[in-house]
């Protein structure tokens, strides 16, 4: 869900940003045959990861 275009955690508009950063990153990685994801642990934070085929 967070990799969707214009996704924002706080829809109130108080935070800055357009909600495009993770979407653009995911699209670039997918175009290169890779994968992207996130794991989250409450009170500890998130880990973002990606993979790309060798030779890229």
Q: Which CATH number does the domain housing residue 36 bear?
A: 3.30.565.10
Residue 1 tokens read as 């869900």
Q: Please report which confidence band the pLDDT of residue 50 belongs to, taking 50, 70 and 90 as the band edges.
A: very high
* Cβ neighbours of 22 (radius 10 Å): 16
Mean pLDDT of 41-53: 95
pLDDT of residue 13: 63
SS3 46: strand
Please tell me the pTM assigned to this model. 0.72
**Number of domains present in the structure of the chain:** 1
d(CA 1, CA 46): 14
Domain that holds residue 40: 1-56
What digits encode the pLDDT tens for the residues 6-33? 776 666 767 777 778 889 999 999 999 9
pLDDT of residue 7: 72
């Amino acid at each position: 869900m967070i990799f969707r275009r214009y996704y924002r955690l706080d829809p109130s508009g108080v935070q800055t940003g357009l909600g495009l950063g993770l979407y653009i990153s995911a699209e670039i990685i997918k175009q290169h045959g890779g994968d992207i994801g996130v794991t989250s642990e409450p009170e500890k934070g998130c880990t973002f990861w990606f993979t790309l085929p060798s030779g890229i």
